Amino acid sequence: MRMTPLSTLSLLTAAIGFSLASTAQAARPPAPDLSNSEFQQCLDRLKNSSKFRGVDSYTFNNYRPTQPDPSVIQSLNYQPEFQKDVWDYLSALVDKERVEDGIRAKRQWADTLRQIESRYGVKAEHVLGVWGVESNFGQTLGKKPLFESLATLSCFDRRQSYFQGEFANALKIVQNGDIAPSDMTGSWAGAFGQTQFMPSTFLELAVDFDGDGRRDLVNNVPDALASTANFLDNRGYRTGEPWGYEVKLPDGYWAASNRKDKKSMSHWRNQGLTLANGSPLPYDLSSAGLLLPAGIEGPAFLVGKNFDTFYSYNASENYALAIAHLSDLITREDSSKTDFITAWPTDDPGISRQQAKDIQQALLDAGYDIGGVDGIIGDNTRTAIQQYQSSRGIFPADGRAGQKFHRLIMGNSASSNAQGGNQYGQPANSKPLTPAPADRMGQLIQQQTTSTPSTPSYASPNQPTSNIRYRRVVGSDGVTRLIRVDEGS
Q: Which residues bind Ca ion (CB under 5 A)?
A: 208, 210, 212, 214, 223
Q: Determine how many CB atoms are found less than 10 A away from the CB of residue 315.
A: 17
Minimum separation from the CB atom of position 44 to Ca ion (A): 35
Instruction: Of 451, 489, 485, give the one whose Cα is nearest residue 471.
Output: 485
Q: Which is nearer to Ca ion, 212 or 369 (CB)?
A: 212
Shortest spacing between CB 229 and Ca ion, in angstroms: 14
Give the list of residues 6+ apart from residue 170 with CB closer than 8 angstroms, or none.
Answer: 146, 147, 150, 184, 190, 199
What are the CA-CA distances from residue 91 to residues 98, 266, 319, 340, 407 (Å)? 10, 32, 12, 10, 16
CA distances from residue 372 to 34, 148, 191, 359, 360 in whole angstroms, order as listed: 29, 26, 25, 11, 7
Of 214 and 472, which CB lies nearer to Ca ion in the complex structure? 214
Give 45 or 114: the residue with its C-beta nearer to Ca ion. Answer: 114
Q: Distance between CA 193 and CA 216 in Å, rounded? A: 8
Please give the residue whose beta carbon sits closest to Ca ion in the complex: 208
Beta-carbon contacts of 159 under 8 Å, excluding residues fewer than 6 positions away, are 5, 6, 9, 76, 153
In terms of CB distance, is 212 or 284 closer to Ca ion? 212
Q: How far is the CB of 351 from Ca ion (least distance, A)?
A: 38
Please state the closest distance from residue 208 (CB atom) to Ca ion, in A: 4
Beta carbons of 390 and 343 less than 8 angstroms apart: no
Judge whether 481 and 473 are in contact, CB under 8 Å. Answer: yes
Give least dist CB 134 to Ca ion, A: 19
Alpha-helical runs (H) found in 235-273: 265-270
Phi, psi of 79 (to 5 degrees): -115, 125
Query: Are 351 and 401 a contacting pair, CB within 8 Å?
Result: yes
Nearest to Ca ion of 124, 179 (CB atom): 179
Q: Starting at the earlier edge strand, list the strands of the sheet with 300-303.
A: 258-263, 288-291, 300-303, 244-248, 274-275
Q: Which of 221, 288 has the CB closer to Ca ion?
A: 221
- Nearest approach in angstroms of CB 216 to Ca ion is 5
Nearer CB in complex with Ca ion: 144/215: 215
Strand pairing report for 258-263 and 244-248? unpaired
Nearer to Ca ion, 30 or 213 (CB): 213
Task: Report the nearest approach of Ca ion to the CB of residue 214 (Å).
Answer: 5
> Minimal distance in Å, beta carbon 117 to Ca ion?
18
CB atoms within 10 A of CB 160: 15
